[in-house]
Amino acid sequence: MAEPATTPAAPPVDFRTDPSRYRHWKLTIEGRVATLGMDVREDGGLRPGYDLKLNSYDLGVDVELADAVQRLRFEHPEVGAVIVTSLKERVFCAGANIRMLSQSGHGWKVNFCKFTNETRNAIEEAGALSGQRYLAAVNGPCAGGGYELALATDWIVMADDGNTSVSLPEVPLLAVLPGTGGLTRLVDKRHVRRDRADVFCTLEEGIKGRRAVEWGLVDAIVPRSRLADAARERAAHLAEQSDRPASARGIALTPVDRTIDGDRIAYRHVTCVVDRGRGVAEIVVAGPEASPPADVGGLHALGAAFWPLALARELDDLILHLRCNEEGIGLWAFRTTGRADLVTAHDRLLAEHSGDWLAREIRLLWRRVLKRLDVSSRSVFALMEPGSCFAGSLFELALAADRSYMLDGTRQGDPAPAATVRLGEPSFGWFPMVNGLTRLESRFLGEPHRVDELKRRIGEDLDARAAADAGLVTFTPDDIDWEDEVRIAIEERAAFSPDALTGMEASLRFAGPETVESKIFARLSAWQNWIFQRPNAVGERGALRVYGTGQRPEFDRRRA
């Protein structure tokens, strides 16, 4: 099978944007209700070679959506409900652009789907944990990824006219899955009966009107003329129930400052050196340089400059950048520097003001960033050396790692103190993974008592021996062995098949229960990735390749 270049030759994707630069979305706010209007520019594709007709989308469209979803959280504490709708006259959204998909390589497709899934998960999280409820006003055909976007909201109202329907035509039309959560949310979120889901997902033309309500595909239908009002009324009602402060002032998410100089990527608190020869991104995360403000007012005054928030945004950008633009770098090695007491002081401020909307948003952003790390198809190592600062919330990076190396003792000739790690409150509930468990709970699934014991050791500085005894680190070589042991581990990792590592890590990282989110990244995405490799979808005569050419796809009829 010919594998197209993963990305058409083009500059790296930049995930940083802001509303002044949106080309595809219009964000309007009236009182406590925001409206995200989708109005995709046909000629506004991120890459050449396809037109974004009928509000179909590509990664660029979703980067803007993700930005809007993020800004609504931080910049608009007053907004308690968000209406997602189309600004086009005759269509809601036609889903992911098919020509874009058909001309993309495997890696690009997989990465695109992962990002769009994360954005939809963030929409659901806003409703569940942040008092910002999303609803969809479906004012025209709503197909594939368009319906999957609606599925991520908490309430779907659809125009009851001859033109408007919801559909998941991927299977009959394109020989791929509704992989942006569609299949999972149908049966696991909306509890659509499996036989009806089977029918719906094989019905190219979709379902409209009363049957869509009866089958649970939408929550309500109203005449076209009533649609906007119905959505506004519902949004106003949801906003009233929100615990977000109606009169608070948001903080500005100022641009994330980043310089890329050759293989060095530098932010304010994060640096990354891309070592192409060894296939490693060497990432250093710096703790805060000063004490946190004395009170929550100071936190608000700092806004985007407040260390935990600034760092989370930088890490998020780095993860997205490396995932999309540095596919050949299979291992991310995390180091930290800084002072543990300053990290824990910042954590404490967030803990003390957990009722403050901004403190809550910062914790939730960390939660999303760490989840993004967990579901990244990269190996993650944590390297704890003298002078490191794996404390409090920063220790969560070590818990997110596939393995960790902690240097036992000091280095000869190096005045830096021996590495210690310090558990903080954040590891005990602030940042559940997609499986709903904390990283400590996942780690000690068979020994839950260990988590309780460790909770009593919050704030203790554990040296390598103590950390190993506590089960918190994997290996603790001393100065003599460190260089070789870490070097060999990195070299070995680089020698393994990237695909096998991806499948292995995705299986080992998420022990325990499953949720809609974890099912999307496991069952659904894994199947989709498989299908994205199958000639029936992507071969010369595969459905995705011949779509729109007038040719009929040819299928190998054998079931695997």
Which residues make Cβ contacts (< 8 Å) with residue 103, sequence separation at least 6? 4, 8, 49, 50
d(CA 288, CA 280): 25
Q: What 3-state class would DSSP assign to 141?
A: coil
Nearer to a copy of itself, 17 or 533 (CB): 533
Exposed, middle or buried: residue 273 (CB in 10 Å: 0-12, 13-18, 19+)?
middle
What is the Cα–Cα distance from 96 to 57, expressed in whole angstroms?
5
| 3-state per-residue secondary structure call for 278-305 | CCEEEEEEECCCCCCCCCHHHHHHHHHH
Query: Is there binding between residue 4 and a copy of itself (CB under 8 A)?
Result: no
Subset of residues 388 to 407 that bind a copy of itself, contact rule: CB under 8 A? 401-404
- The minimum distance between CB 446 and a copy of itself, in angstroms, equals 3
Binding window for a copy of itself (CB under 8 A); candidates: 63-71, 356-364, 415-423, 536-544: 536-544
**Interatomic CA distance for residues 202 and 212, integer angstroms:** 15
Q: Is 540 in the site for a copy of itself (CB under 8 A)?
A: no
Stretch that binds a copy of itself, among 146-154, 189-197, 306-314, 340-348 (CB under 8 A): 189-197
Work out whether 186 is an interface residue with a copy of itself (CB under 8 A): yes
**202 touching a copy of itself, by CB under 8 A:** yes
Stretch of residues binding a copy of itself (CB under 8 A), selected from 55-63, 351-359, 361-369, 508-516? 508-516
- Beta carbon nearer to a copy of itself, 191 or 487: 191
Shortest reach from residue 377's CB to a copy of itself, in Å: 5
Question: What is the distance, to the nearest Å, from the Cα of residue 364 to the centroid of all Cα atoms in its chain?
Answer: 12
User: Which residues within the stretch 14-73 sit at the binding site for a copy of itself (CB under 8 A)?
Assistant: none
Residue 10 within binding range of a copy of itself, rule CB under 8 A: no
Residue 211: which residues within 8 A CB-CB, separation 6 or more?
Answer: none
Looking at 46, 142, 176, 397, which residue binds a copy of itself (CB under 8 A)?
Answer: 176
Among the listed ranges 26-34, 49-57, 62-70, 469-477, the one in contact with a copy of itself (CB under 8 A) is 469-477
Cβ distance to a copy of itself smaller for residue 348 or 541: 541
Residues between 242 and 301 that touch a copy of itself (CB under 8 A): 279
Name the token pair of 252: 């500005």
Asked if 188 interacts with a copy of itself (CB under 8 A), we say yes
In whole angstroms, give the CA distance from residue 251 to residue 254: 9
With vertex at residue 72, the alpha carbon angle to CA 71 and CA 77, rounded to the nearest 5 degrees, is: 115
Q: How far apart are CA 350 and CA 426, in angstroms?
A: 10
**Site membership for a copy of itself, residue 199 (CB under 8 A):** yes
Residues contacting 356, CB < 8 A, separation 6+: 296, 299
Residue 219 in the binding site for a copy of itself (CB under 8 A):
no
Q: How far apart are alpha carbons 285 and 394 in whole angstroms?
A: 8
Residue 399 CB, nearest distance to a copy of itself (Å)? 9
CB of 328 to a copy of itself, least distance (A): 5
Work out whether strand 390-391 and strand 421-422 pair parallel, antiparallel, or are unpaired: parallel
Find the binder of a copy of itself among 29, 248, 256, 506 (CB under 8 A).
506
Asked if 530 and 453 touch (Cβ cutoff 8 Å), the reply is no
Hey, which residues between 93 and 112 contact a copy of itself (CB under 8 A)? 106-107, 110-111
Distance between CA atoms of residues 227 and 233, nearest Å: 10
* Closest alpha carbon to 60 in 103, 25, 106: 25
**487 is an interface residue for a copy of itself by CB under 8 A:** no
Nearer residue to a copy of itself within complex by CB, 415 or 446: 446
- Structure token pair of residue 382: 């944590």
Binding of residue 210 to a copy of itself (CB under 8 A) = no
Quick one: which segment of 73-81, 230-238, 248-256, 439-447 binds a copy of itself (CB under 8 A)? 439-447
Q: Shortest approach of a copy of itself to residue 327 CB, angstroms?
A: 4
Stretch that binds a copy of itself, among 16-24, 174-182, 247-255, 365-373 (CB under 8 A): 174-182
Question: Judged by CB under 8 A, which stretch of 1-9, 32-40, 254-262, 456-464 contacts a copy of itself?
Answer: 1-9
Cα of 178 vs its chain's centroid, Å? 18
State which residue, 137 or 183, has the beta carbon closest to a copy of itself.
183
Q: Judged by CB, which is closer to a copy of itself: 484, or 556? A: 556
Q: Helices marked H in 140-193 — which ranges?
A: 145-151, 182-184
Among 162, 446, 548, 550, binds a copy of itself (CB under 8 A): 446
Helix (H) or strand (E) holding 135: strand 133-138
**In the complex, least distance from residue 192 CB atom to a copy of itself, rounded to whole angstroms:** 8
In 327-386, where does DSSP find H-type helix? 340-352, 357-374
Handedness of CA 409, 412, 417, 420 (dihedral sign): negative
Least separation in angstroms between residue 282's CB and a copy of itself is: 17
Which residue in 291, 354, 507, 551 binds a copy of itself (CB under 8 A)? 507
Q: Toward a copy of itself, which CB reaches closer, 27 or 380?
A: 380
Cβ atoms of residues 349 and 302 within 8 Å: no
Q: Which helix (H) or strand (E) holds 85?
A: strand 81-86
- Determine if 343 is a binding residue for a copy of itself (CB under 8 A): no
User: What is the number of other CB atoms lying within 10 angstroms of the CB of residue 14?
Assistant: 15
List the one residue out of 447, 450, 395, 444 whose CA is nearest residue 421.
395
492 binds a copy of itself (CB under 8 A): yes
Q: Does 445 interact with a copy of itself (rule: CB under 8 A)? A: yes
The reply on whether position 12 binds a copy of itself by CB under 8 A is: no
